[in-house]
Chains A and B, each alone.
Chain A
């Protein structure tokens, strides 16, 4: 059945497998212990803001041991961003040097170049000399830009 739908079927199977193993399974296995934590936070919030409402909340039933397969015990250290054993300082929203933008634009130009050259390479024999000249003109126009960047010393990192 999968062969009828080719790559779409494969994509959907991989997507479902990925979602089940990385998102749904850990979430639902840790759900009882997660629920206990949320309930404790909710009662704490009520105690600080509306103390008279607390006695109306029914207590949470005790979950059996086998349901708490995956424990869920968050604390500030565990929830913090962890990178190679270093404690993080400041925010991650650092402004980058705008010179990187040049490389991104050059990357896009190369990308589009490859997209145009790929069908030409597939049908190389059928297109013959005319196609070769067309592709050479195509590459020549883009190489002008690269030579200009090289002569203007933009590719050097200062």
Chain B
């Protein structure tokens, strides 16, 4: 299990550094690229937790699609080469972030985590499919998801048609 530990620590350190780079880099495009790196390390952590389907989804949606959306949005923005200027909300945002971090850390440290002794399922995809699409499963949330996507498509149409 020491190999998994090494993999986890490499992924965790690279992920935290990439996340810090997203916040601290002045160049917005470089920040977007380090966000991609952060998503990739999260996918790697999913693999170490033997959640293979979730890792593939993370790479497909976040690394593939969401980052393309963010980079496109950067390419559409005016005066983006000036970078992200500092503003007056810097200190309140820092305080809110510290409060949020404190709350999350408190909740994480004070929860008794139950560790299952059974070995993880090897191919997780059929089990997820049975949970999502079978009778008595989570069929209602699955059918609500395309309505969200429909709203996104219609919103994009309205955005493009606006003169």
Using a CB–CB cutoff of 8 Å, the interface residues on chain A facing chain B are: 4-5, 7-9, 11-12, 91, 93, 95-96, 98-102, 104-109, 111-116, 118-120, 122-123, 126-127, 130-131, 134-135, 137-139, 141-142, 144-146, 148-149, 152, 154
Contact = CB atoms under 8 A, between A and B. Distances in A.
A144 B149 CA distance: 11
B133 A111 contact: no
B69 interface: yes
Contacts of B44: 8, 11
Which DSSP category, helix, strand, loop or mixed, fits chain A's interface?
Answer: helix
Q: Size class of B's contact patch?
A: 35 or more
Contacts of A141: 143, 146-147, 149-150
Given A8-B4, A142-B150, 19 more contacts: A7-B47, A12-B7, A91-B81, A95-B78, A102-B159, A105-B152, A107-B65, A108-B66, A116-B142, A118-B125, A127-B129, A130-B133, A134-B133, A134-B139, A137-B143, A141-B150, A145-B153, A149-B157, A154-B157
Interface string B61-104: 10011101100110111101100000000000000000000000
A97 to B, nearest CB: 8
B130 interface: yes
A113 B146 contact: yes
Contacts of A148: 153-154, 157
Given A119-B126, A144-B150, A102 B134 contact: no
A109 B125 contact: no
Tell me what chain B mostly uses at the interface: helix, strand, loop, or mixed.
helix
B129 A152 contact: no
B48 to A, nearest CB: 7
Contact of A95 (B4, B75, B126, B143): B75
A20 to B, nearest CB: 16
A130 B157 CA distance: 33
A109 B149 contact: yes
A102 B159 CA distance: 8
B132 interface: yes
B24 to A, nearest CB: 21
Contacts of B76: 95-96, 98, 100-101
A75 B37 CA distance: 32
Contacts of B66: 108
Nearest to A130: B135
Contact of B128 (A9, A119, A142, A154): A119
A101 B132 contact: no
B144 to A, nearest CB: 10
A108 B150 contact: no
Interface string B43-59: 01001100001000100
A37 B56 CA distance: 46
B145 interface: yes
Contacts of B13: none
B82 to A, nearest CB: 10
B20 to A, nearest CB: 20
